[in-house]
Amino acid sequence: MRNSTGLIINYADWSEKTSLPKQNNPQSKNLTSRLNALKTFILNEYNNDLSRGALFDKYWLKGKINLFFERTQDEKTNDNIVVNYLSTYRELRKLDTKTTEKTDNQYYNLLDKFSRFQKFKKRTYLLSDIDKKTMLEFNSWLMTEGGLMESTARGNLKNLKTVLLDARDNGKSIHHQINGFVIENKPALKVFLNFQELDQIKNTLMIGEDLIHAKDWLLIGCYTGQRVSDLLTMNKTKIFTKTNSEGESFRFIELTQIKTGKHVTIPLHDEVEEILQKYDGCFPPLFRRTTHDSNAAAFNLYLKKVCELSGLDTVMKGKVFNDELKRNELKETEKYNLVSSHICRRSFATNFYGDKRFTTPQIMAITGHSTETTFLSYIGKTSSDHAMNTAKTFREISQQKIS
């Protein structure tokens, strides 16, 4: 490995024999002292990094030289430094029309978190410095110092690996351990409302317009399977009647999902039709807020109260927001405290997946999931659950033959 130190000397003052400055003036003696100190520093850094499996190349050497001389200007532009490459990667994502603002923000947050991690470790990381040990250290820091939930920390780790692999594909040197580094996908806690709980909510009397409307929107959401961003945009103009080849007419909601841009067609369930009849064929009113986001926030607030009044007070473990720490914490609490607007989509997916009259693609066509793997992960199911359902069906078929 060869790299420039950035130091200069008159060739007449250089000794080819010793490969050091001639000791004929104070400046040369000082330069010799600095070069010897640099040599000692590089050797020490080499031994330290060798023990942790670092990848040695010209970028590693250049980084150590800059570190020794405390040069910061080059660090601001060197895209072999993790935070610099992260910043570039984040800006390039904005040029991709297929990306979403929510995902772009994840990489903005990753840049902030990794910058803080560097300060905590008191060092600047090159792309090639990030090995399995560093990834695990970053994951641990995210949960202890960063205060993140395990699932959120794991998401940051996955995004970091994505950036490192992108750097590799662009010709950058990364540590060989990253290619095979597996981020364990532990199933998160999935909170949903089953059909019995939905009936319990339906049959509970609510007092006050906001609670009545929140209850109706909650039930509509659990029978249409949409995110709150799409749920609260539903109105009469999105309802269409279609007739099949046998002359039967059915009513559907058609919309384009805001987050994904996917067009979905949702058959109107009888429970939804019953609610629409209460409002003369229209959807319930919103919550008199000025923006869509503020209406969604109000919905989140009211539906917790709806579920509390409906007696959904079973104690279970889940994420609860800590107002003092401004972050989610895992704790045991009543179920109504764990309810948020996203429970609508998850309840629909989970409930109808459990009904063998519906195929998984049928449900995915309504929720908008792209792959079955993503869908099963979303509802907390695995391929083994799928296999178990198939095994039960096989047994039922065998029993039918016997009878």
Question: Which band of pLDDT confidence, cut at 50, 70 and 90, is reported for residue 59?
Answer: confident
- Do both 229 and 166 map to the same domain? no
Question: Which band of pLDDT confidence, cut at 50, 70 and 90, is reported for residue 195?
Answer: very high
Q: Average pLDDT, stretch 59-80?
A: 76
Domain stop point among 178, 203, 226: 178
In a domain, 268, yes or no: yes
In a domain, 153, yes or no: yes
Q: Quick check: 237 pLDDT over 90? A: yes
> Quick one: tokens of 260?
């994904």
- Do both 172 and 255 map to the same domain? no
In a domain, 5, yes or no: no
In a domain, 34, yes or no: no
- In this structure, of 5-9, 249-253, 395-399, the range with the lowest mean pLDDT score is 395-399
- Do both 273 and 307 map to the same domain? yes
Residues 6+ apart with CB under 8 A from 403: none
Domain stop point among 129, 148, 178: 178
Residue, of 265 and 189, whose pLDDT is higher: 265
Q: Quick check: 374 pLDDT over 70? A: yes
What range defines the domain where residue 264 resides?
195-392
- Do both 382 and 249 map to the same domain? yes
In a domain, 310, yes or no: yes
- Do both 277 and 145 map to the same domain? no
The pLDDT, as a whole number, for residue 77 is 72
63-78 per-residue burial string, b: 16 or more CB within 10 A, e: under 16: bbbbebeeeeeeeeeb
H or E stretch covering 403: none
- Do both 217 and 243 map to the same domain? yes
- Do both 173 and 321 map to the same domain? no
The pLDDT, as a whole number, for residue 266 is 94
Report helix, strand or coil for 60: helix
* Prediction pTM value: 0.63
Percent of all residues in the chain with a pLDDT value above 70, rounded to a whole number: 90
The pLDDT, as a whole number, for residue 402 is 67
- Do both 161 and 282 map to the same domain? no
The pLDDT, as a whole number, for residue 213 is 96
The pLDDT, as a whole number, for residue 216 is 97
Look at phi and psi of residue 22 and say left if phi exceeds 0, alpha if psi is from -120 to 50, else beta: beta
In a domain, 154, yes or no: yes
Instruction: Give the total number of structural domains in the chain.
Output: 2
Please state, in angstroms and rounded to a whole number, the distance separating the CA atoms of residues 148 and 51: 30
Cross-strand partners of 257: none
- Do both 202 and 172 map to the same domain? no
Answer yes or no: are the C-beta atoms of 229 and 281 closer than 8 Å.
no
Instruction: Share the mean pLDDT of the chain.
Output: 86
In a domain, 227, yes or no: yes
Amino acid residing at 344: C
The pLDDT, as a whole number, for residue 72 is 59
Strands 263-267 and 315-322: unpaired
Domain stop point among 146, 178, 210: 178
Q: Quick check: 74 pLDDT over 60? A: no
Question: Which band of pLDDT confidence, cut at 50, 70 and 90, is reported for residue 367?
Answer: very high
Please state, in angstroms and rounded to a whole number, the distance separating the CA atoms of residues 367 and 227: 9
- Do both 143 and 201 map to the same domain? no
The pLDDT, as a whole number, for residue 403 is 61
- In this structure, of 6-15, 31-40, 117-126, 370-379, the range with the lowest mean pLDDT score is 370-379
What CATH number did the domain enclosing 215 receive?
1.10.443.10
The pLDDT, as a whole number, for residue 378 is 76
- Do both 297 and 327 map to the same domain? yes
- In this structure, of 2-16, 238-252, 388-402, the range with the lowest mean pLDDT score is 388-402
What CATH number did the domain enclosing 133 receive?
1.10.150
Question: Which band of pLDDT confidence, cut at 50, 70 and 90, is reported for residue 370?
Answer: confident
* Other Cβ atoms within 10 Å of 216 Cβ, number: 22
In a domain, 35, yes or no: no
Please state, in angstroms and rounded to a whole number, the distance separating the CA atoms of residues 39 and 352: 68
Question: Which band of pLDDT confidence, cut at 50, 70 and 90, is reported for residue 122?
Answer: confident
- Angle between the N-to-C axes of helices 132-144 and 101-121, in degrees from 0 to 180, rounded to the nearest 10: 100
Q: Quick check: 98 pLDDT over 70? A: no
The pLDDT, as a whole number, for residue 35 is 93
The pLDDT, as a whole number, for residue 388 is 64
- Do both 212 and 83 map to the same domain? no
